[in-house]
């Protein structure tokens, strides 16, 4: 085993062109040679299950993103194919997610041209982050910030569906206006939609609950019990698709009978999306909007969306980047890994990323043949699908945990949570800044120990870097001048492993001040790199560098 100090990972240039490297770049080569029939069976089941989840979710999330419904499906298949080739984890599924849809709605103004261009740009940025190893940037988004953002997103998304659940029209997009208008016009609730919506949520919850209570199937069980378990499992796992189909059938029956109590999805563009480059400019009534203007309009979103898409892990940056770049050619909006569907995938016992092929095919088939049927899907049913998908994100246990673990972490958490309701980028920025301040405070105000041991000894307990310069200088000066006549000071640098130019300049200042007062400032226990810097800077004078014994005696 390696024994030593390893701050850097060595560059492994000699690995550059081997088959192993190719396998690393294209993980499909790792599992395909060992693929078995058993795997195929499991992957088909899992792929089919995910497909039955992603189709209704895609239709629903498109509404969150403020885009026409078919865009949810356009966004759902490219990730399956790309991840099949490049994916490293068998469970992860890429596609439209609630959070990404919310972000897209903020930054692309319900305009597919902006959304598709955003997909392309996000892909490029993610790919660049992967290739340039910029993953460390993501490390500065702490969990409290992520939790605060997720919690705010779940509230925003959940609430945005209340209007569809109740059948209210013309509710504004902005969260606060939405809350205000929804409550003001709650009297306009349509009985049909509200009934269907509430029943749908109830059905989804019951099915989800049933799924977690299915008894473990084993060979000793009677056949009918195993069959029942299987039926319950299938129903519960495909609950989103079944609900949407059932609601659609009900709506269709009403339509046939000549009345329609529900607001329906309505006409959806039929067929597969065209394959074409993303729109780098856009025709509008006032002439063409050029590329630069489109990017300016999307503003902070161009940074936020690719960034949030990678929050789970930078390891997937390249796969996600390529998915988005290719996706932008088939009118996808930005996609990322879906926690919910990934969990379903894992539960269903997927064996390799090949399951994605089935899912992708199912989405393409839906687009090709089912779009006319989407007309009858009631919006309230889709709203129920979304609300049940984001409900687990509303995880309030995090308050309790933060309170117990580190109360200060509640500050970035609440800063993010509250500001995200105003604008997402401010929320995240505020959270990152607050976490940064908490991180830097001990760097700027290091702990100092003061001993009296013949001379006064001042000992910084951690490192010494530039933001601490003024503070250390003031403290040493204060300690030395606290008595009259002023006393000499020994600065114990035992814990100081490096110093920079600012610290050096501060120490020079201090030494000059000490000379003026006729007392001395000496250094003890200097580590080699620090001593070398002091000598290089011609920071000299008699008796400056002692080891502590000398300095004291």
Interface residues toward a copy of itself, by CB under 8 A: 1-8, 135-136, 138-140, 142-144, 313-314, 401-402, 404-406, 408-409, 435, 438-440, 442-452, 456, 461-463, 465-471, 475, 479, 482-483, 498-502, 504-505, 533, 536-537
Taking the complex as a whole, the smallest distance from the CB of residue 14 to a copy of itself amounts, in Å, to 18
Residues 238, 49 contacting (CB under 8 angstroms): yes
Going by C-alpha positions, the residue among 101, 105, 67, 86 that lies closest to residue 273 is 67
Taking the complex as a whole, the smallest distance from the CB of residue 273 to a copy of itself amounts, in Å, to 36
Taking the complex as a whole, the smallest distance from the CB of residue 156 to a copy of itself amounts, in Å, to 23
Q: Which is nearer to a copy of itself, 39 or 450 (CB)?
A: 450
Q: Which is nearer to a copy of itself, 205 or 533 (CB)?
A: 533
Residues 309, 336 contacting (CB under 8 angstroms): yes
Taking the complex as a whole, the smallest distance from the CB of residue 350 to a copy of itself amounts, in Å, to 17
Query: Do the strands 336-337 and 521-524 form a parallel or antiparallel pair, or are they unpaired?
Result: unpaired
Q: How far apart are CA 131 and CA 125, in angstroms?
A: 10
Q: How far is CA 436 from CA 142, 148, 277, 411, in A?
A: 9, 16, 40, 11
Residues 391, 154 contacting (CB under 8 angstroms): yes
Q: How far apart are CA 96 and CA 336, in angstroms?
A: 7
Q: How far apart are CA 303 and CA 323, in angstroms?
A: 17
Taking the complex as a whole, the smallest distance from the CB of residue 441 to a copy of itself amounts, in Å, to 8
Taking the complex as a whole, the smallest distance from the CB of residue 503 to a copy of itself amounts, in Å, to 9
Q: Which is nearer to a copy of itself, 8 or 14 (CB)?
A: 8
Q: Which is nearer to a copy of itself, 44 or 444 (CB)?
A: 444
Taking the complex as a whole, the smallest distance from the CB of residue 149 to a copy of itself amounts, in Å, to 14
Q: How far apart are CA 441 and CA 270, in angstroms?
A: 57
Taking the complex as a whole, the smallest distance from the CB of residue 255 to a copy of itself amounts, in Å, to 50
Residues 430, 416 contacting (CB under 8 angstroms): yes
Q: Which is nearer to a copy of itself, 270 or 470 (CB)?
A: 470
Q: How far apart are CA 53 and CA 343, in angstroms?
A: 12
Q: Which is nearer to a copy of itself, 101 or 142 (CB)?
A: 142
Q: Which is nearer to a copy of itself, 353 or 460 (CB)?
A: 460
Q: Which is nearer to a copy of itself, 167 or 431 (CB)?
A: 431
Residues 255, 257, 260, 261: is their CA dihedral positive or negative? negative
- In b/e form, how buried is each residue of 350-386, taking b as 16+ CB within 10 angstroms? bbbbbbbbbbbbbbbebbeeebeebebbbbbbbbbbb
Going by C-alpha positions, the residue among 546, 536, 430 that lies closest to residue 493 is 546
């Amino acid at each position: 085993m390696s024994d030593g100090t390893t701050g850097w990972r060595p560059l492994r240039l000699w690995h550059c062109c081997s088959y192993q490297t190719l396998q690393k770049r294209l993980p499909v080569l790792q599992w395909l040679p060992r693929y078995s029939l058993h795997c195929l069976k499991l992957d088909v089941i899992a792929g089919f299950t995910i497909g039955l989840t992603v189709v209704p979710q895609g239709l629903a999330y498109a509404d969150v993103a403020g885009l026409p419904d078919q865009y949810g499906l356009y966004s759902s298949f490219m990730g399956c194919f790309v991840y099949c080739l490049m994916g490293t984890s068998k469970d992860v599924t890429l596609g439209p997610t609630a959070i990404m849809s919310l972000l897209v709605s903020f930054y692309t103004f319900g305009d597919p041209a902006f959304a598709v261009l955003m997909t392309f740009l996000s892909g490029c940025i993610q790919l660049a982050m992967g290739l340039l190893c910029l993953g460390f940037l993501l490390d500065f988004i702490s969990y409290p910030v992520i939790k605060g953002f997720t919690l705010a997103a779940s509230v925003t998304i959940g609430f945005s569906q209340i209007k569809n659940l109740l059948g209210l029209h013309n509710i504004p997009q902005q969260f606060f206006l939405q809350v205000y208008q929804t409550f003001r016009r709650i009297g306009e609730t349509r009985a049909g939609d509200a009934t269907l919506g509430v029943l749908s949520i109830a059905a989804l919850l019951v099915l989800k609950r049933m799924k977690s209570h299915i008894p473990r199937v084993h060979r000793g069980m009677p056949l009918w019990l195993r069959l029942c378990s299987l039926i319950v499992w299938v129903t519960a796992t495909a609950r989103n698709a079944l609900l949407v189909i059932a609601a659609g059938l009900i709506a269709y029956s009403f339509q046939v009978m000549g009345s329609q109590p529900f607001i329906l999805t309505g006409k959806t563009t039929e067929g597969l999306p065209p394959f074409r480059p993303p729109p780098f400019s856009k025709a509008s009534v006032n002439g063409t909007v050029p590329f630069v203007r489109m990017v300016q309009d999307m503003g902070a979103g161009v940074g936020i969306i690719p960034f949030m898409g990678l929050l789970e892990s930078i390891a997937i940056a390249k796969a996600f980047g390529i998915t988005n770049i290719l996706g932008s050619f088939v009118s996808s909006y930005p996609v990322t890994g879906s926690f919910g569907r990934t969990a379903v995938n894992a539960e269903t016992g997927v064996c390799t990323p090949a399951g994605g092929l089935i899912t992708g095919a199912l989405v393409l088939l839906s687009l090709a043949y089912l779009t006319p049927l989407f007309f009858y899907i009631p919006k309230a049913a889709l709203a129920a699908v979304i609300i049940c998908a984001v409900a687990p994100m509303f995880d309030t246990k995090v308050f309790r945990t933060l309170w117990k673990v580190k109360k200060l972490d509640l500050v970035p958490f609440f800063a993010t949570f509250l500001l995200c309701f105003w604008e997402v980028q401010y929320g995240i920025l505020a959270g990152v800044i607050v976490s940064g301040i908490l991180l830097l405070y001990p760097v700027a105000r290091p702990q100092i120990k003061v001993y009296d041991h013949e001379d006064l000894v001042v000992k910084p307990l951690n490192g010494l870097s530039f933001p601490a310069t003024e503070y250390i200088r003031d403290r040493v000066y204060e300690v030395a001048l606290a008595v009259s006549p002023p006393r000499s000071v020994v600065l114990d640098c035992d814990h100081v492993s490096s110093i920079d130019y600012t610290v050096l300049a501060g120490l020079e200042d201090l030494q000059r001040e000490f000379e003026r007062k006729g007392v001395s400032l000496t250094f003890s226990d200097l580590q080699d790199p620090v001593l070398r810097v002091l000598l290089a800077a011609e920071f000299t004078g008699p008796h400056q560098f002692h080891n502590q014994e000398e300095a004291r005696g």
